[in-house]
Structure 1
Amino acid sequence: MTFIIQQLSWHKRRKATVEPQPVAISVPDFEKVLNHFCTVEVTFDNGEVAKLTGRVTQHPITGVWSVNGINAKGQSVSARYQDDNNDDSV
């Protein structure tokens, strides 16, 4: 399973701060089921590894699957699922 990390930006809602950025993501219990709750393991650029609670969503028009995760510390990540057997990129 391959996930492409989407950069989240809150600069329109909050004062800009320098925060660790996600560089790697793993979702061992990912399922293509709408609103499936899963564990998201994220490695940040500062070396920190965090486990986030994630939810699987699907775009209603394109059909692209994605995972959004957040934890109690406010760390969040969004990643698009890319099927390893399919070479089409959206």
Structure 2
Amino acid sequence: MTHHIPHRLGHVTLPPEDGRPVVVYLMPLPDGDPVGLHGTAALIWSIAAEGEPDVPAALAELLAVPVDTVRGDVERFLTDLVAQGLLEEAR
């Protein structure tokens, strides 16, 4: 399943620096509540937002872990991001 960034979602990504993880700040516009994603959560959102069709596999490769150890959690998190309007499923 591929995802994309909703049309009315503001987003800023801060790359890792000085040992700090990547951070993504999201805000549904014009009047949504801001959301901050850090570390692995930010990586998952970023990978999905780039249109990667197999986010769990891409994350597992980045983290050098078996995909089976992350697939369930990543898929649940993606479902939650869609439910919150922070990602949309591509049709």
Q: Same fold (TM over 0.5)?
A: no
Structure 1 or 2: more helix by fraction: 2
TM-score (norm 2): 0.33
Of structures 1 and 2, the one with the larger relative CO (CA 8 A, separation 6+) is: 2
TM-score (norm 1): 0.33
- The structure with the largest alpha-carbon Rg is 1
